[in-house]
Structure 1
Amino acid sequence: MNIASLCRREVVAVPAAASLPQVAARMSEEHVGSVVVVTGDDPPRVTGILTDRDLALDVVGSGQSGSNLSAGDLARKSLVAVPGSASVQEATATMEKAGVRRVLVVDDAGRVTGLVAAEDLMAAISDELAQLARALRGGIEREKSERKAATEPAGPRPVFPSFGTAVQ
């Protein structure tokens, strides 16, 4: 499974000059926790990422109103990206190394094609684990139907009280 198959293709972008109330309103409208901050160039160039956590901690948490700040002022400028061909393991290693929860997904030319959040990776990994659990349960059920139980028990079945020691 590669990251391109997991990423959100519709990346929400805001201009670097956008006010923080405008950014918060856009996040609310789009139901996203992060936006990509871009220049006014044609085509736009990504200059940073701004998250709802950045707004909460860097503005509200520090007692600022944020009215004098723009998206470009607050956005994290150290961009972290992975190619669309990256594996889940490569993306998580990149996140761990950079200390981030989101990475940009780029094509071979370096253009942003999506965004992957830690939550997206956790969902994909949990889906794979659930599939493995179903396979294991199916194997047990198949085995029960194909194999006869032993006619003679191997011995007395131990009983374990709540504190964990076997009782004979």
Structure 2
Amino acid sequence: MSVGEFCNRETVVVRKEESIVTAARLMREYHVGSVVVVEDADPGPKPIGIVTDRDLVVEILAAELDPNAVAIGDIMSYQLTTARDSDGLWDTLQRMRLQGVRRVPVVNAAGALVGILTSDDLLELLSDELGQLARIVNRERQREQATRDGALR
């Protein structure tokens, strides 16, 4: 399965000139833990950074800064890990682990933002797949039991 098949296409975005308060309001409104920072480009917005709810707590609240005086560009992560929509989920998961990131913006071949993939998304997918695997074992037991019961008669 490719990243593009699974990523969330409804990505919340901001510009680096916007305020931290704007980012926090968007996170609350859309119930997300991050916003992707983009710049306008052709053929679509290009991701240049990310700001997480943790960034707001660690960089702003814990430092007792005035959130209205800080722009998103002041605290966003500039070393952005992205995934292409054609990348495989397993390879992307490995890159996320190696880079120590829980969220990766997903881009198309032209570098335009098309979605976001989060560790929560991957946990949901993997738990569904593990559930399916567990059902295989149970189904095998049922089939084996039915076969034995039929053979004993």
Using the alignment, how far apart are the partners of 1:28 and 1:103 within structure 2? Answer: 20
CA-CA distance at 1:40 after TM superposition = 5.4
User: In the alignment, residue 52 of structure 2 is paired with which amino acid?
Assistant: T
CA-CA distance at 1:88 after TM superposition = 2.1
User: In the alignment, residue 108 of structure 1 is paired with which amino acid?
Assistant: A
1:138 alignment partner in structure 2: 139
- Coordinate RMSD, CA, aligned: 2.0
CA-CA distance at 1:112 after TM superposition = 1.6
2:16 aligned with 1:4, yes or no? no
Which moves more between the two structures, 39-48 or 131-140? Answer: 39-48
Using the alignment, how far apart are the partners of 2:15 and 2:110 within structure 1? Answer: 22
* 1:64-83 paired onto structure 2 within 5 Å: 64-83=65-84
Using the alignment, how far apart are the partners of 2:104 and 2:131 within structure 1? Answer: 25
2:5 aligned with 1:29, yes or no? no
Q: Count residues in correspondence.
A: 151
2:114 alignment partner in structure 1: 113
2:54 aligned with 1:53, yes or no? yes
Q: How far does the alpha carbon of each residue in 1:92-144 deviate from its partner, in whole angstroms, 9 at most, with x for none?
A: 11111211111111212222211000110111011100011111101101110
Using the alignment, how far apart are the partners of 2:6 and 2:62 within structure 1? Answer: 32
CA-CA distance at 1:20 after TM superposition = 0.9
CA-CA distance at 1:79 after TM superposition = 1.1
Which moves more between the two structures, 21-30 or 43-52? Answer: 43-52
Q: How far does the alpha carbon of each residue in 1:51-96 deviate from its partner, in whole angstroms, 9 at most, with x for none?
A: 1111011111222232211111111011111121222211111111
Task: Report the structure, 1 or 2, having the larger helix content.
Answer: 2
| TM-score between both structures, scaled by the size of structure 1 | 0.82
Q: Secondary structure of 1:67's partner? A: helix
Structure of higher RCO (CA pairs closer than 8 Å, 6+ residues apart): 2
CA-CA distance at 1:6 after TM superposition = 1.5
Show structure 1 runs of 4+ deviating over 6 A. Answer: none
Which runs of 5 or more residues in structure 2 are unaligned?
none
User: In the alignment, residue 15 of structure 2 is paired with which amino acid?
Assistant: P
